Amino acid sequence: MASPSSKPLDSKVALVTGASRGIGFAVAHTLARLGAAVGICSRDAQKLEAAAARLRSSVPGGKILALPVDVTRAEQIAVLIDRTSRDLGPIEVVVNNAGVGYFGPTHEASETNWDTVLDTNLKSVFLVSRAVAPGMVERRSGHIINISSLAGKNAFAGGGIYCASKWGLLGLTQCMAEDLRTHNIRVAAICPGTVHTDFGAHVGKDPRKMLQPEDVAHAVEMLVTQQPRSFISEVLLRPTLKP
């Protein structure tokens, strides 16, 4: 792992989706601290600009570009990639973090519930990755990191739609990794357990024992600073103590 004073991502460009809060914000902060110029996006323009202001104040001299984008829309992603590349430079690191949840019996869910979760959690990763991959292939360098979940490996009541999105994301990640590894591009998934954010209610869980957004960001740091000869394809992240 890099020391606090080092800048292993100096002159590199990173893009983080769903970065206005929670895990995405923590990841963006870590990448900026490591020296990367960071593009961030989310759908809420007001929250996104507030996040950008926090990043600029906490990482003096850091280059931050904030663009409100719906990552389920291919035409908006095209603008995001073009603007980020033009303003910051070629994108070296992508963290697909944008996600939503629906929890309840699958037989009671609506088609809209399905479309919203699958489009945000799975389709967006396909769209963003497809948009950045050609440039990475041309440069023979890059990291694509997908924030999945332990729900992509474990079934639970009420999790049908959410689990489907995360199981699908793991399959997509593994196949993309095989497609791109010969081009020196590493594709990996991080699967955290429950993280203390406002994503869910976390009823009955002790937040002091839960994973924090910074724990997921630490795993991202590990992936982007690994040695060139290694390839960590999947990280399962659990709290030390059960919350």
- The first and second tokens of residue 54, run together, are 């926090």
Q: 192 lies in which domain range?
A: 13-237
- pTM of the predicted model, to two decimals? 0.95
Q: Is residue 7 included in any domain, yes or no?
A: no
Q: Is residue 216 included in any domain, yes or no?
A: yes
Q: Is residue 242 included in any domain, yes or no?
A: no
Q: Is residue 64 included in any domain, yes or no?
A: yes
Alpha-carbon distances, residue 30 vs 6, 74, 151, 175, 198 (angstroms): 12, 27, 25, 27, 20
Q: Is residue 204 included in any domain, yes or no?
A: yes
For 182-218, how does the pLDDT look when each residue is reduced to its tens digit (9 = 90+)? Answer: 999 999 999 999 999 877 656 667 888 899 999 999 9
Q: Is residue 87 included in any domain, yes or no?
A: yes
Buried b / exposed e over 170-186, threshold 16 CB at 10 Å, is: bebbeebbeebeeeebb
Sheet bearing 93-96, strands edge to edge = 64-68, 37-42, 13-17, 93-96, 142-147, 185-192, 234-237
Q: Is residue 5 included in any domain, yes or no?
A: no
Q: What does the pLDDT read at residue 206?
A: 84
The residues, any chain, with a CB within 8 Å of residue 109's CB and separated by 6 or more, are 102, 160, 161
Q: Which of 18, 162, 165, 219 is catalytic?
A: 162
- Below-70 pLDDT ranges, the chain: 1-5, 200-204
Q: What does the pLDDT read at residue 202?
A: 64
CATH number at residue 214: 3.40.50.720
Amino acid identity at 83: R
Q: What does the pLDDT read at residue 242?
A: 84
Q: What does the pLDDT read at residue 75?
A: 98
Whether 162 sits among the annotated catalytic residues: the reply is: yes
Q: What does the pLDDT read at residue 200?
A: 61
Instruction: Give the total number of structural domains in the chain.
Output: 1
Q: Is residue 211 included in any domain, yes or no?
A: yes
Q: What does the pLDDT read at residue 199?
A: 72
CB atoms within 10 A of CB 169: 25
